[in-house]
A and B are shown apart, each in its own frame.
Chain A
């Protein structure tokens, strides 16, 4: 009889403790962890590009009917329009508050042609991707020997736990 009573008390105690912690963690998960975006939901991001060269007409470009910007930027395959923005050596180009649909795994593609007369130099573009104050990617794409500065930078949208000061 004592043994059974002891077992019931133990089950009630442990069960109660389990129920409490389960309830507490469920509350924590829904209230204190904020995903930056839901999958494919639109999000505002900023792009910062700092080239080591000024862009000029490329004699080796494909001349198509559509006028192409000297910089080709594609976010998850979608072109980012920067046709009228000046691209100058050493000056950071800001593309702010771009609303795009992102998922967990994303990529940004950049292609630009440094001046042919500077083909003896190594050229690069520093790329920074930001969402609010969070740096999603920070990478420099390099090219030498007359090639295009071209590359793909993958980035992920992290899930950031917010610090709850009440706990």
Chain B
């Protein structure tokens, strides 16, 4: 019986291995740290490359701990892509790539970064993808990186990127149109953690906070400087909600909603919904792509605040 079972397992494993390799021969393997970067890379590479994401949908990059399986994935990579700016807490993606001896590209290079003052210390906000303009920089950096790995298909990568950049342009315009449906005084975005600074700055939300995020938890959910929740930060959020009369506040898909639910109860405002923030949605969900994620977030925000 044991012999039969072992044989069956071996057979299934061989089948799975054969399935994995089928069609991926000679294709460059590109490993991205987050789901957003993986989506950008997929839009550029199409079927010309195998794109893998270390993080699964719904995972939190600030607190993520790489697994032995991640090490194996990076060992098989031709190119690694990271967000950088400490999004990947303790630079886990850079460490994985370095240990495996693989080239790594930081796709936020060239973005006009927002600095957050945390107790006198300036911290660059890593959540740059929340502005479609910045997403265009991500895409351009990815095109440059993939061209070096597979120069023979350069024109194809550029053609796909051109189409995607046009979609980002239309997305940017559509978000502006949607924001316009919210009365100016109700354009208050309160979320679980400080992930929406670029979004608020680009689309002019939270005027009473210099067009930056309002959140009880700092820019990171990990243990970095300026991260996490403090009583002072929580008090400011409650005060801000009461003063501004925000009609709703939002939880995020990657973070425990406990803090926000407590604040909603204390201030008497409703929960507007669950926003995609540090990770995109699961396969098959509306938020499984960057454009889908931004679209769904925007519709939730408009419905809750207008």
Binding site for B on A (CB under 8 A): 58-64, 113, 116, 119-120, 145-148
Contacts and interface: CB of A to CB of B under 8 A. Distances in A.
Interface in B104-132: 132
Given A59-B133, A59-B136, A62-B140, A119 B161 contact: no
Contacts of B170: 145-147
A119 B172 contact: yes
A64 B157 CA distance: 11
Contacts, number: 49
A116 B172 contact: yes
Nearest to B143: A62
A59 B166 CA distance: 10
B173 A119 contact: yes
Q: How many B residues are at the interface, by size bracket?
A: 10 to 19
A63 B138 CA distance: 11
Nearest to B139: A62
B176 A60 contact: no
Contacts of A113: 169
A60 B172 contact: yes
A147 B166 contact: yes
A64 B176 contact: no
B173 A145 contact: yes
26 contacts: A58-B169, A59-B133, A59-B136, A60-B132, A60-B136, A60-B166, A60-B169, A61-B165, A62-B140, A62-B165, A63-B144, A113-B169, A116-B172, A116-B173, A119-B172, A119-B176, A145-B170, A145-B174, A145-B177, A146-B169, A146-B172, A146-B173, A147-B166, A147-B170, A148-B166, A148-B169
Contact of B133 (A60, A63, A120): A60
